[in-house]
Structures are given as C-alpha cells and as structure tokens.
Amino acid sequence: MAAPREITTNKHGFHVKWVLNEKTLLSRNSCKTEVKTVEGMPDVKWYLQSVHNVKGFYLYFNIESENEIEYTTYLHFFLNPDHARCESGISIGKKSIEIDRPYDSSFGKYIINGIVKINFHGFFRYTRQEQINFNIQSVCSAEEWGLRFKQNLPTDFTIMVEGQTIQIHKLIVSAESTVFKRMFEGSFKEARENQVTIPDCKYEIVQAAVDYCYAQNISAILEDQSKCIDLLCFANQYDFLTLKPKLENHLGQKICKENLSLLVSTADKTSSIQLRQSCIYFFSALINRNETFPPEELAEFDFQFLQDMCTQALNH
C-alpha cells in the first residue's frame, strides 16, 4: 500500500567527487557520474555529465523531480574550498543545467598527475510543503530495521575505544564508511583479527557514528555543539559518506557570531566545504548589515577565509 509521506521545505545536502583522467579528456568522449538520489527527497534524481560538441566541452548538472524543487550548487576543480562556482534555481521534471565550460586554454592548470578532480556539492529543497503518496511498501521504519539487525544477527567485527567494545556488522558499516570498507577487505591486521582499536576518540562519538549506520537516533549528540564537531571530525577521518554532509548542514544552520570562528576552524580541519561556504555566507551577511567584529575577534579568522569571503563578495 502507498505510504503517505510529508514533503517539507528543509534543505537536503548532496556531494560527489568525480575524477576524470587526462586520457578520457583527450578522447573527447562524453561521460557521466552514476545517477544519485537524495535522502529525504525520494522523487529527486541527479547526476553530472560532461558533453562534447562542435563548440567545445561542457559540464552539465542533470536533475529529475516530480515536484518543484530549489537547488543550489557549488563547483570546484580541486579539493581546496576557494573559488567555488555557485549556481541556483528552480526545477521540476527533467532539467539539464550548464554549470561550467572548463576546457579552454587555461584548463591545463587543473590537471594534476594526469587527472582532474571535480568536487561538486550543494542542496535541494522542495519549494512548498504538502502531503503526497509514494508507492513504498513499508513493513517498518529504517530505524526499526537497523535495531532488528543489531539485535538479531551475529556481529562479525569489534571496535575497541576507551577500553570499551562496540560490536558491528561489517556489511552495514562498510556501506557508509570507505575507510572501514578498505580495512575489512584488505590484508591488514584488523581484517585478520576482525577488530580494531581507535585511539584519541571518545566512546560515545564512535558509538553515535555506528548507530547512524544502523539508522538509529543520534539527536542527543547533535544537540551538543562540541560533540557534534567531534562526530564531524570522526566522520571525516573515516569517510562516512552521508553522515558528514548531514553534519555540515546541521552545523551550518547553527552558525552565530559566537561560534563562527570555531566553525570556520572546524570546516578547514575537516575539509568541510559546505560548512565553510555557510560560514562565508553568514560573515558576508553580517558585513552587509554593517555588523562588525572587534579587532581581536577578527584576528582569529585565518587570512584565506577572509580572502575567500572578499573574493566571493566581489564576484556577486
């Protein structure tokens, strides 16, 4: 039976890193990323596509949605979070958006060791809130399934942290963390012994990350800024694919003058491009409202952050 689901106007983040090798670029063949969906927006699909035609080489952002959505994207040709190209707009149905024409005479600077790294992220949100039905056969929620999995199936790996153990299923955690996936599949000591010790990390942070893999509620951690930052650091270190952008989005909505410097530092420490961009937007909005920081507080911001903020302000 069709399960009713409420569509909200909350923002839902997405992120992809796409690596193109020089051979592919020179072959002038068109290619695309895999089609991706967005958690919390089941009718939305998207992918990136590089296309050759007689006029040159173009990069497109393709969206498909049954409902009207708003999108905001940021495009980088390297992992450093400066010089992002931003696009935004409204879409419904199928839409193909040209986001850049990168392959001109100056594009060679983006080719490093024979590859180009494209970092693409942003968020979607529905433009209106309503009740619709999706044809989803639902026996129980993802949280209930995760709990059943934890309680009823034997575990096959042990995480040791602060003298305590966390029993996990490799299948579940490897689906979220590429670092754990490599650990499980490689010829490492951890793979042979089916256990790992995680130093310099708090038990409750690692437990929260594991609970997230099982779709359990971790809101208690998110309500504490310090713990949320610790969880973001862990998610970055162990490459939790969907947890990290959600934490960036959560912290991005909590930015204020009192924590701006801390969150800028956190974003740089964890390579959190989305969070860093949110900090830039917040700081720019303060300047536009003629709100300033005392000199001693302004000195806490690194020069690169201030430079990027000024550059983006001048380019818009």
What is the residue type of 101? Answer: R
What is the residue type of 130? Answer: E
Contact 189/169 with Cβ under 8 angstroms?
no
pLDDT tens track for 223-239: 999 999 999 999 999 99
Give the helix, strand, coil percentages of the chain, each rounded to 5.
40, 35, 30
Contact 42/135 with Cβ under 8 angstroms?
no
Sign of CA dihedral 212, 213, 215, 216: negative
Residue 284 belongs to what H/E stretch? helix 273-288
- pTM of the complete model: 0.56
> CB-side exposure of 57: number of CA atoms within 13 Å?
14
**Distance of alpha carbon 79 from alpha carbon 43, whole angstroms:** 30
**Distance of alpha carbon 173 from alpha carbon 158, whole angstroms:** 12
Between the ranges 26-35, 86-95, 144-153, 162-171, where is the mean pLDDT highest?
162-171
pLDDT tens track for 117-161: 788 888 888 887 654 444 444 445 677 777 777 777 888 999 999
